[in-house]
């Protein structure tokens, strides 16, 4: 039996080993990925991002518990938890499993920890490929937890269908500026640790930022009464991220979160965004690979001596990086 | 393209709640360039075997200070084998009486470290074991 067959039949050891090969970008991994690719495209990809310490892992734990226990369909859930690699040694301590111990013993859940291995943007270079393996293996929900993200770790929005941005009270005031960046990618906003003081302030700050970000939804005050005016044409394409308050240590707010995720999925299908996001994701994935391969091919072809001389000129401020690239590509 | 990373599961089976040693070792392995999956306290053998399977690790490092090693170690080895992971090297750190060491090695434990073991030795042995 081939690796592909045994994965399609649900063999967890084969799955796990293939994940390693894909992560290491081995030829075997790439070959299996090619065979599995026609089986992908069915899973709902949910991204979970937010600053360190907002409770992403605990939230993923509770959400998965909910999908497995409360939800009638008992969907199979794969979790990819990304943590940073050390920029100096390349090593990593991957600790997200510590918060996910409630999920052990359930063979409808598969948790895989992943180190970024030098990649920036909140994900590892091969995270998208790992998602494809889980998708082909029949996991209906794939949750991708990014590294503790700040301003620019927005790669997740390109990968996931539904992006959840997790905030917590007490972080809000100092990170207002950051929020504007990361808020843009949120499909669902979560204020976790809602039992902590200051939760109303965080919620209010988020709501006002959201209103600025989505001026298409106009709220008027008319004789003291709030009237929302929505034009029917834009209704189907407009999604206002809901704000959900949760306490991920005891599961408060999790059913509401799951409900919002389901609503967002329905919205994506209805508006045609599901297919659009799928296409955008595959395109950016292909282009990233193309970029790497072009770089490899270029380095193969260019004479090392010329390359080294050119970069030396850049070091000495004799040539700008821009001119250097032009020279290397055109020979002048 | 990328070199093969050594993936290690650091786990604390049983009921003792002292994980300082496990954390020191996890940190040292990280600094040696390995990817360490840390699972936290009070893991059952079943949880450890499951994590080892999902993470496709090369090495499992167990920290046991409770004295229950003669019960926990064989159970974990058995579960790893049942999952088809007999190739995974299992190490133990903690308080292990001298007379238990030969029996643990016979069972299939690759290495045993007591208090005062140097992290350099541990790193060297892990690298050697996965070659």
Tens-place pLDDT, residues A50-103 = 888 899 999 999 999 999 987 777 899 999 999 999 989 999 999 999 999 899
pLDDT tens-digit series, residues A166-222:
988 877 554 554 556 677 889 999 999 999 988 888 888 888 777 766 655 444 444
Taking contacts as CB-CB distances below 8 angstroms, the residues of chain A near B123 are none
User: Which residues, numbered 101 to 120 in chain B, qualify as contacts with chain A under a Cβ-Cβ cut-off of 8 Å?
Assistant: none
Is B38 an 8 Å CB contact of chain A? yes
Taking contacts as CB-CB distances below 8 angstroms, the residues of chain B near A19 are 56
What does each C-alpha distance from A158 to A79, A237, A264, A279, B97 come to in angstroms?
17, 18, 16, 10, 54
Is A291 an 8 Å CB contact of chain B? no
Pairing outcome for strands A218-222 and A225-229: antiparallel
Query: Left (φ > 0), alpha (ψ -120 to 50) or beta: where does B67 sit?
Result: left
Question: How many helical (H) and strand (E) elements, i.e. helices and strands, does chain B have?
Answer: 5, 5
**pTM of the full predicted structure?**
0.88
> What gap in Å lies between CA A313 and CA A328, rounded to an integer?
12
Query: What would the two tokens of residue A122 be?
Result: 């909140």
Is B40 an 8 Å CB contact of chain A? yes
pLDDT tens-digit series, residues B100-122:
999 999 999 999 999 989 999 99
> Over 90: is that where the pLDDT of A151 sits?
no
Is A89–B4 a contact, with Cβ atoms under 8 angstroms apart? no
CA torsion through residues A11, A17, A20, A21, sign: negative
> What gap in Å lies between CA A243 and CA A224, rounded to an integer?
24
> What gap in Å lies between CA A148 and CA A48, rounded to an integer?
10
Is A87 an 8 Å CB contact of chain B? no
Q: Which residue has the tokens 């091919």?
A: A297
Query: Left (φ > 0), alpha (ψ -120 to 50) or beta: where does A198 sit?
Result: left
Residue of A nearest to B36 (CA): A93
**pLDDT tens-digit profile, chain B (131 residues):** 345 799 999 999 988 888 899 999 999 999 999 999 999 889 999 999 999 999 999 999 999 999 999 999 999 999 999 999 999 999 999 999 999 999 999 999 999 999 989 999 999 999 999 98
Residue A289 or residue A162, greater confidence? A162
DSSP B25-59: HHHHHHHTT-EEEE--SSB-HHHHHHHHHHHT-SE
Query: What would the two tokens of residue A102 be?
Result: 């409630």
Instruction: Name the CATH superfamily, with its identifier, for domain B7-68+80-130.
Output: Cobalamin-binding domain (3.40.50.280)
| A50 closest CA partner among A172, A230, A158, A199 | A172
A-B interface: how many C-beta pairs under 8 angstroms? Answer: 83
Is B31–A113 a contact, with Cβ atoms under 8 angstroms apart? no
- ipTM higher than the 0.90 cut: yes
Whether B49 contacts A13, CB under 8 Å: no
């Amino acid at each position: 039996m081939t690796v592909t067959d045994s994965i399609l039949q649900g063999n967890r050891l084969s799955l796990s080993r293939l994940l390693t090969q894909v992560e290491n970008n081995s030829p075997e991994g790439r070959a299996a990925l090619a065979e599995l690719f026609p089986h992908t495209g069915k899973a709902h990809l949910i991204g979970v991002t937010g600053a360190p310490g907002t409770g992403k892992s605990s939230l993923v734990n509770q959400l998965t518990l909910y999908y497995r226990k409360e939800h009638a369909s008992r969907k199979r859930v794969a979790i990819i938890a990304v943590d940073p690699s050390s920029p100096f040694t390349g090593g990593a301590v991957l600790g997200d499993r510590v918060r996910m111990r409630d999920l052990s013993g359930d063979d409808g859940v598969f948790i895989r920890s992943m180190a970024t291995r030098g990649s920036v943007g909140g994900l590892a270079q091969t995270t998208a490929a790992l998602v494809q393996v889980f998708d082909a293996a029949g996991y209906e929900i794939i949750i991708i937890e990014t590294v503790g993200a700040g301003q620019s770790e927005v790669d997740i929005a390109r990968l996931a269908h539904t992006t959840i941005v997790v905030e917590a009270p007490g972080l809000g005031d100092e990170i207002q500026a950051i929020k504007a960046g990361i808020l843009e990618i949120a499909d669902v906003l979560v204020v976790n640790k809602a039992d902590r003081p200051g939760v109303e302030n965080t919620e209010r700050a988020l709501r006002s930022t959201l209103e600025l970000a989505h001026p298409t939804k106009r709220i008027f005050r008319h004789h003291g009464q709030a009237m929302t005016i929505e034009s029917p044409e834009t209704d189907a394409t407009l999604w206002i991220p809901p704000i959900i308050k949760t306490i991920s240590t005891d599961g408060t707010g999790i059913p509401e979160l799951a409900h919002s995720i389901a609503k967002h999925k329905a919205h994506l299908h209805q508006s045609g965004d599901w297919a659009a996001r799928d296409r955008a994701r595959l395109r950016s994935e292909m282009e990233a690979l193309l970029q790497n391969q072009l770089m490899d091919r270029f380095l193969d072809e260019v004479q090392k001596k010329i390359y080294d001389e050119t970069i030396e000129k850049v070091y000495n401020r004799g040539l700008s990086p821009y001119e250097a690239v032009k020279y290397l590509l055109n020979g002048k | 393209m990328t070199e093969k990373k050594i993936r290690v599961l650091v786990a604390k089976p049983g009921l003792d709640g002292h994980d300082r040693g496990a954390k020191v070792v996890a940190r040292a392995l990280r600094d040696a360039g390995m990817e360490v999956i840390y699972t936290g306290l009070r893991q059952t053998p079943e949880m450890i075997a499951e994590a080892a399977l999902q993470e496709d690790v090369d090495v499992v490092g167990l920290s046991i200070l409770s004295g229950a090693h003669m019960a926990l170690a064989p159970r974990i080895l058995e579960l790893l084998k049942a999952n088809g992971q007999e190739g995974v090297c299992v190490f133990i750190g903690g308080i292990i009486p001298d007379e238990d060491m030969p029996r643990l090695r016979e069972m299939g434990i690759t290495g045993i470290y007591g208090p005062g073991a140097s992290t350099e030795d541990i790193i060297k042995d892990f690298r050697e074991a996965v070659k």
